[in-house]
Chains A and B, each alone.
Chain A
Amino acid sequence: MLAGRGGRKIRPPRRGLHGDEIDFENTWGIIASAFREIHTKNASKLSYEELYRHAYRIVLKKKGEDLYRRVRNFEHDWLSNEVRGTIHALLTPGLLANSQSIGGTTANERRFAGERFMKGLKQAWQDHQVCMSMLADVLMYMDRVYCADHRRPSIYSAAMVLFRDDILRSDPSDHSDMDVLSILNHVILEQIRMERDGDVIDKHLIKDCIYMLEGLYDSEIEAEEQRLYVTSFEEDFLASSREFYMAESELMLRESDAGAYCRHARRRIFEEQDRCRSTLSETTTLKIEKVVEDELIKNRIHELIEMESGVRYMIDNDLLEELSLIYELNARVDNKKAELTRAIQKRVVEMGTDVNSAAIVASQAAQPLSEGPDKGKAPVEKNLNQQTIAAIKWVEDVLQLKDKFDKIWKVSFDSDQPLQTALTRSFADFINASSFPRSSEYISLFIDENMKKGIKGKTENEIDLVLEKAIILLRYVQDKDLFERYYKKHLCRRLLMNKSISNDVEKQMISRMKIELGNNFTMKLEAMFKDMTISEELTAGYKTHIAQLGDPDPKRIELAINVLTSMTWPLETMGSSGDNEEGKMLKCVFPSAIERIKKGFEKFYGEKHSGRTLTWLAAMGSADIKAVFPKVPQKDGTLKERRHELNVSTYGMVILLLFNDLPADEFITFEEIQARTNIPESDLVRNLQSLAVASKTRILIKDPMSKDIKPSDRFSFNEGFQGKFHRIKVGVVTSGNKVESDRERKETERKNDGSRGFCIEAAIVRIMKQRKELSHQQLVAETLNQLAPQFKPEVNMIKKRIESLIEREYLERIENAPIDSYRYLA
């Protein structure tokens, strides 16, 4: 319609544009010769327009198919005849030889040959690329019209395929079945190997070759994973690397220590990353890293950690840097760091067990001495002291161990959370090891020791530190109830005997425990403090009461008293270590003077709190006695009367008062003393030992003189007693807190088991009351769960408790239940 509107005709296209009928062969001849020029780099003489026009015309004349085929053949011929020869010429015998067997040529020669080969190949490749891009430019019209219409790959990619087939896949010689490509792979691998061994190689050259491989595809489909690099080289590379590192790791494990190994492994990983960046392809980075990690770390980590110079050695020698290396390596291959964790845990338990057994050995070293009952007091004392020292040493060792691992954890392990959990578990493991039942006692002893002596002259911060340490250990202890028992006992001694240095610190400790273990735990401990305060008030009250009575007794005896609530104080453990198992407490017979005061106080107390019974625990008390010794000749010949103030235990006082009314030359037998005072035998023996045997406080003379007290011994007052000081303290053997003897421990454990029984029963009843019905397994699990903060009961014990509750009709078995189940009976 255009024509109609404009009134003008559309001019038929001029024939010139079409070109006339052309002679295909002629035109192709022109193009082919031009291509040859291009290949020999003489393009500047050629007119692009002319060539383009020829190609255009051919395509326009529907001869695209022919042109395409001809170009391909042309390139094929060119590559086969011209280029291939040059490349094959570069394959020197040396290069070929080493692809079959190494020998004859030195590494250096091989390297140069390899480089020459790669250079040639690279040159050919680059030339090919340039030429083909020019050809493709000239044949643009063909690409655009013919190739697009007929779904042919562009001439450029077709030519690339030709290069692959005619050059890389060509067989260079008759006696080798390797094609150029595999030789190239081989050469590159060898170069990389040289670099790994420390040689310098031409990275850029290799990189160029790698580019070539990346630019070519294995098949017609140009997909990422079809690149020659991936299909032919990468695999070889990974495989040869694996081989290399496998051999290397083996060698390294044999020849160097773990620290060096770690350093080396880390360096290798960095090197490989670097190599991928500078020499190979980035896409390989992850894969090769994996190979190195597998070979150098994953497959070796176990051996590495177990090496003589492995983790154990590092821990022992505080090689923090190496440890952090190991950590890093292990973290690379294993998120959970299982191997390292295992090794660390093992070491912790080992070291902990060492500490445990050291403590046991230390505490038993002196044991044999005390086994013989006739050895007397000194060795026993020494033995007990040694045990205490062992206990404190144990605590300190454990703390040291803890410090050590904390430091390692912080510095070397990047404060890794799972590792900390593992450490904690290991510590708990060895502290609660069944082979070492004393941890609770030892920790309590440690606190006791610190309360009595350790914190003297320390600043608040230091004290804090000590308390913190104790709490840390306490956290690990499973049987908290046992600890409570011991702590109560030790605290009791400290309070009653005024051994504690600072009440504030005591209270601080308790409040810390409260935070850590909860209210229940410290309730009784707090009650003990309360008793002490009340007692002080009571004593003061009694004093004013006596003063008001206005009975000026010249022989008046002052009384300070502690009234203790029997439920909260571990009085039974204070007694004479279970001697009075018959159940009746032997009542000590007090001398009349004392008895009077006792009555007075009972009356006073009865008035204040009616209905309460006081039980007097003579074993706990102490007394100050003023004693007058008759004149005896002094060194300078004068006679002098001596006055001493004797601080003795209550029993000691009772014994001494017996001698008050006795003529100087008479004696009393052991049996007589026992009969008149009713003091338990073991207490009596101990008191007499300190009064009659210990050289510094020999107020009584024993006949016959010997170190041990026998029932037939006779005692008389030592008139010739000489003391250096006015005030003399007569110690009694058990005055300090010592590690328990085995018998005592059994006793404690028995009692502890008893109270555990109640706890378990209470827990079971609580659970059943809530759940009404529950299977046996569930009940046991819940009970364990509920009691976990206090202690870990044995399943057997729980079973027994359940039996007992059934007997007492708190529970009943559900008949015909598929699994063992119980029902709560309200």
Chain B
Amino acid sequence: MADQQTEYVTLVSSDGFEFKVLRSAACLAGAIKRMLDPTSNFAEAVSNRCVFENINGVVLEKVCEYLYYNEKHKESKDVPDMDIPPELCLELLMAADYLDV
């Protein structure tokens, strides 16, 4: 499993939730992309598993939702707005900044 470029990667939140995400979708985030870059060969790239110590499950879920949302509407116009609960706003923004989405 080590050197393989799997189709899905696992994103793990600080409180232990795991999300299996399409690699291409996940790589939208700059940080994840670099994390998984096989040439630099970090631990994450080897295991295809990324643990985020500072993002909790709720936020990470929303992040994953966005990643797929983006993947789905990548090429279309007039995209419907994504529903974001206001109470998550700030945390999401910080996560986005952190992940470089």
Contact = CB atoms under 8 A, between A and B. Distances in A.
Interface stretch (A129-137, A431-439, A594-602): A129-137
Interface in B78-101: 86-91, 94-95, 98, 100
B40 A49 contact: no
Contact of B86 (A10, A43, A45, A141): A10
A9 interface: yes
B53 interface: yes
A11 to B, nearest CB: 5
A144 B34 CA distance: 14
A140 B87 contact: no
Interface in B45-73: 45-46, 50-56
Given A52-B31, A56-B98, A140-B30, A43 B42 contact: yes
Given A11-B87, A13-B90, A52-B31, A46 B43 contact: yes
Contact of A11 (B41, B45, B91): B91
A180 to B, nearest CB: 27
A130 B40 CA distance: 7
Interface stretch (A14-22, A299-307, A440-448, A783-791): A14-22
Contacts of A2: 86, 89
A134 B41 CA distance: 9
B54 A16 contact: yes
Contacts of A9: 87
A248 interface: no
A141 B100 CA distance: 8
B90 A10 contact: yes
Contact of A48 (B39, B42, B55, B56): B42
B43 A137 contact: no
A30 B41 CA distance: 18
A44 B41 contact: yes
B72 to A, nearest CB: 26
Contacts of B86: 2-3, 6, 8, 10
B40 A19 contact: no
Contacts of B34: 48, 52, 137-138, 140
A140 B40 CA distance: 14
Given A49-B52, A53-B53, A13 B42 contact: no
Contacts of A19: 54
B94 A13 contact: yes
A17 B13 CA distance: 12
Chain B contact residues, majority secondary structure: helix
A775 to B, nearest CB: 79
Interface in A1-49: 2-3, 6, 8-14, 16-17, 19, 43-49
Nearest to B37: A137
B51 A49 contact: yes
Nearest to A137: B34
Secondary structure of the A side of the interface?
helix
A50 interface: yes
B48 to A, nearest CB: 12
Contacts, number: 88
Interface residues of B, number: 31
User: Residue among A13, A48, A134, A138 with the most chain B CB within 10 A?
Assistant: A48
B94 A49 contact: no
A13 B52 CA distance: 16
A133 to B, nearest CB: 7
A771 B23 CA distance: 92
A815 B53 CA distance: 111
Contact of B40 (A3, A8, A14, A137): A137
Interface residues of A, number: 32
A8 B41 contact: no
B44 A49 contact: yes
Contacts of A6: 86-87
Contacts of B35: 48-49, 52
Contacts of B46: 44
Contacts of A45: 43
Contact of A10 (B37, B50, B89, B95): B89
B40 A141 contact: no
B26 to A, nearest CB: 13
A140 B91 contact: no
Contacts of B98: 17, 56, 141
Contacts of A48: 34-35, 40, 42-45, 50
Contacts of B37: 137
Contacts of A8: 86-87
A46 to B, nearest CB: 6
B14 interface: yes
B90 A47 contact: no
Contacts of A50: 53
A550 B44 CA distance: 139
A47 B91 contact: no
Contacts of A56: 98
Contacts of B52: 49
Interface string B11-35: 0001000000000000000110011
A134 B38 CA distance: 11
Given A17-B55, A47-B44, A49-B53, A144 B100 contact: yes
B43 A140 contact: no
Given A3-B86, A48-B44, A53-B54, A17 B91 contact: yes
B41 to A, nearest CB: 5
Given A17-B55, A43-B42, A134-B40, A49 B90 contact: no
Nearest to B31: A52
A754 B95 CA distance: 110
Most central of A9, A43, A144 by chain B CB within 10 Å: A43
A17 B94 contact: yes
A140 B94 CA distance: 16
A746 B52 CA distance: 115
B31 A140 contact: yes
A134 B53 CA distance: 21
A9 B14 CA distance: 23
Contacts of B87: 6, 8-11
Nearest to A133: B40
A667 B38 CA distance: 133
Nearest to A12: B90
A130 B51 contact: no
A137 B36 CA distance: 11
B51 A47 contact: yes
A11 B90 CA distance: 8
A17 B42 contact: no
A13 B55 CA distance: 11
Nearest to B59: A17
B42 A46 contact: yes
Contacts of B43: 43-48
Contacts of A16: 14, 53-54, 56
A774 to B, nearest CB: 79
A130 B95 CA distance: 28
Contacts of B40: 43, 48, 130, 133-134, 137
28 contacts: A2-B86, A3-B86, A8-B86, A9-B87, A10-B87, A11-B90, A16-B14, A16-B53, A16-B54, A16-B56, A17-B94, A43-B40, A44-B42, A46-B43, A47-B43, A47-B44, A47-B51, A48-B34, A48-B45, A49-B53, A50-B53, A53-B53, A53-B54, A56-B98, A130-B40, A137-B34, A140-B100, A144-B100
**Closest 7 interchain pairs by CB?**
A48-B42, A137-B34, A134-B40, A48-B35, A2-B86, A17-B54, A47-B43
Interface of B: 14, 30-31, 34-35, 37, 39-46, 50-56, 86-91, 94-95, 98, 100
